[in-house]
Structure 1
Amino acid sequence: MNESRRLLAVAYGGGHVAMLLPVLGELRRRHPRWNIQLLALTTARRAAQAAGWDCLGYESLLPLLDAQEREQALRLGQELQAGNSHPDVATSETLAYLGINAWSLRGQLGEQEAARRLAERGRHAFHPQLFFERVLRALRPDLLLSTNSPRSEQAALEAAQALGIPSLAVLDLFAQPGDPFAARSQRPDRVCVLADAVRDNLLAAGWEAQRIAVTGNPAFDALHEPAAREQAREMRRRWAQHWGREPGRLVLLATQPEAQAHPASPWPAGDALALAMEASARAWVEQRPTASLVVRHHPNHWHRAQRAPDTAQVHFSVPADEAIEPLVLAADAVVVQTTTVGLQAAVAGRPVLSLRCSPGALRGLDYAALGVARGVADLDELPAALDQTLARPPAPTRWARPAAAAPAVADQAEALLQRAP
């Protein structure tokens, strides 16, 4: 393998950069002499720096514009700044991100049409493909890595295709019918997916089989780390030491707020269903002396719940204080609506129960229909479903993954580079 390879990764924050960081770490470990650069978009910078990456941002790309272009871009960024800032993103980076994207949109569509789209869609109108062609010509990567996110990530992949640069994307979830990524006509040379079922969805959407590799999702790789498994065992030991009893059959309840209501669901948007699930699970565990419960509300909403003191049977998990992976690994069953925690649990081989009355499930993310979980029609059926699942644990689903995904994705990156000149 050529020791002078140049790689560029482009990722937004949240689950997108979380998918790429383990892959970049694996490639850096295998090839310490490679020049691997990460363009961490908006909130991705904080996660990238925490992982030890000296990353690029849009501010780093301003020198690719001439003096007049920079002046125009920063003026446009100031015009768009109101309502588009984030505490984890520096003001200078926000101005550069908004300004370069708006400047690029003007160059692609003309001033009037760009203004119309920005007024109609805000930053969701961004698609800076021509600017990314300039970026790729300047950085000259041998391979571009990204994910399925739109806007800058999609533009970077399309720019790579236009310039003949090999590209690899990591897809986070299911690629169900109607998924915007599955519907793309301009496709990366390789897409790495979670499981065979996702590959089948892409094939049904018209993707060529040779573009698809089943690798797993690297964002879930912490589930396979020995440290996470030891933390799960330690959690159970601490529980026994503190309360003088073993946790026994342990259930993890992981909830999230409902983004929208649905006419077929009795539950409104907001936290009502999540809080009702907590009440039901607490009532269930009180009647079963050998069982225990961990309550884990969404990281952005846990503080809205009225927190009862911990007991010998119930622990309230504060997301900032505890990683989710040890909780999943310690659990004998996991109860969700549509949170990604349910998929993490299935990947780890844990039984999952999902509330099909959830508006989110009714809007298309039905884990029971996808084979991720056992479906529970409504809340009054949850106690019996828990009893049955704990008494006769089902075999792991087709979503279970026995090993980390990052090495498999890194293999695919190497394969693309071997084909490149």
Structure 2
Amino acid sequence: MVSGDDGGLPLWLFVSYGGGHAKALLPVALRAKELGLAQPVYLALTTAAAPVRASGLRTLGFLDFLEPGDLRALHKGQELAAQLTVQATDRQESVAYLGLSYTEMEDRLGVDEAARQYRKYGRQAFLPLGVLRRVIGSLRPALVVATNSPRAEQAAIEAARGLGVPSVCLVDLLGIWERDTLVRRDYADALCVLNAGVRDSLVAAGRRAGDVHATGNPAFDSLHDPAIRAEGARLRTQLGWDGLHVCMYASSPEPAHSPDVEGIGDPAFPRRIEQALLDAVRANPALALWIRRHPSEAGAGVVLREPHPRIRESTSAMPVHACIHASDEVIVTVSTVGVEAAIAGKVVTQVRGSILDHLSPYLALGLADRELTLAQLAGAYAGPVLARTAGTSARAAFAAGAATDRVVQVLQSVQGRGRGH
């Protein structure tokens, strides 16, 4: 058994992958420790290990739960790790993660079907329930907390239910891809979601209202940092834009095709929106524009060769939250920058026409103020531009306290519940 070491405090097990999932969950674990509510232990999967370990929290991986009978898993893990395009920083952990997850899939589906699933879906095919039962059985946590990622995070919540341990799922964004899982009444004792719109959509789909809490996402708490707001104001003043209506266009790539999505997308769609906005700014002296392209897109320098006093590129080196605060309005198709802008209290305009529209219904979820088509853009910014007041009732809820603290309150309320909730 991996034993605890923090007196009589209950052990709370946090489980997540890296990137946005760790950014959402790690602040919660740290806050629980700071308040003396629990002994947080973090099962940090793949790229989550480095930031979690750096935070000083007790950090575990699949490697910590290997058993003498796992030789077959280790052999398979070594084979799969050697096939990775990008080699993991911690090769031993990668071998344990891949091997334990894959051999469990073989046991569940059979050798041939497991191979087929892995060829088709890669690591997305994993659901290592047995490994997570092993982890939970060893640690004996009072509570399990994970985000809405599939694979090991989903397995953690499902294993907790089977072992009678209460659990909470923190949904980082809209919960649309995972909708069928999230609305199951036996999936987690509580869901923490972005806002009232997301909560209402899950309740309408069948989840019990008392299970779903509009807490916000802790990853976005820095949007309310006074220093970030001040940086945004400084950027705006530096450019001489204080008397203008400042827009930020946060571009995102448009795929021609997307798995399980009908229709054909237009990869030139983001650039056509961009051009319409550039034309609008050049025609209207009351407008200014930040262009922020997605990191996977080429920089905007080519369209800005001719300097313009009211058009600037917001590069990836510039803090996106500061650029949001330097703006009055943020324009997106399906970028999550629109979600961040809504939380910051900015006007959000969503341009519809992407084949991914159905995955980002921002207006319906209280995260946008209006929807426009590409054809409507020019007219929307002609003539005097007046900053419209952002802030629906769903959005205003974010003003009262940090999301991190609201999530911690839900964890406290759920601790102590067992199977059958």
Pairwise TM-score range, normalised by the shorter structure: 0.7 to 0.9
Shift of 1:85: 4.4
1:318 aligns to 2:315 (yes or no): yes
Matching residue's letter, 2:327 = A
CA deviation string 1:25-47 (max 9, x = no partner): 22122118x42111221222344
1:65 equivalent in structure 2: 67
Gaps of 5+ in 2: 1-6
2:392 equivalent in structure 1: 397
CA deviation string 1:121-168 (max 9, x = no partner): 332221111111111111221111101111100001111111111111
Instruction: Single out whichever of 371-380 and 285-294 deviates more from structure 2.
Output: 371-380
Which TM-score applies when normalising by structure 1?
0.86
2:251 equivalent in structure 1: 255
What SS is found at the alignment partner of 2:40?
Answer: strand
Shift of 1:374: 4.3
Whole-angstrom CA distance in 2 between matches of 1:327 and 1:371: 22
2:405 equivalent in structure 1: 407
Whole-angstrom CA distance in 1 between matches of 2:86 and 2:150: 19
Cα distance 1:181–1:325, how it changes in 2: closer, same or farther (>3 A)? farther
CA deviation string 1:327-358 (max 9, x = no partner): 11221011100111111111222111111112
1:340 aligns to 2:336 (yes or no): yes
Shift of 1:78: 3.0
Which TM-score applies when normalising by structure 2?
0.86
1:42 aligns to 2:46 (yes or no): yes
1:384 equivalent in structure 2: 379
CA contact (8 A) 2:229 2:325 kept: yes
Shift of 1:279: 2.0
Matching residue's letter, 1:206 = G
Whole-angstrom CA distance in 2 between matches of 1:219 and 1:171: 11
CA contact (8 A) 2:352 2:374 kept: no
Cα distance 1:377–1:393, how it changes in 2: closer, same or farther (>3 A)? closer
Cα distance 1:178–1:390, how it changes in 2: closer, same or farther (>3 A)? farther
Whole-angstrom CA distance in 2 between matches of 1:54 and 1:280: 51
Matching residue's letter, 1:337 = T
Shift of 1:412: 1.1
CA contact (8 A) 1:265 1:358 kept: no
Whole-angstrom CA distance in 2 between matches of 1:50 and 1:318: 27
Superposition CA RMSD, Å? 3.0
1:9 aligns to 2:5 (yes or no): no
Whole-angstrom CA distance in 1 between matches of 2:339 and 2:219: 11
> What does 1:105-184 align with in structure 2 at a 5 Å threshold?
105-176=105-176, 179-184=179-184
CA deviation string 1:44-91 (max 9, x = no partner): 234434555453233333xx321x41x211221233336644466433
1:367 equivalent in structure 2: 362
CA contact (8 A) 1:217 1:405 kept: yes
Shift of 1:106: 2.7
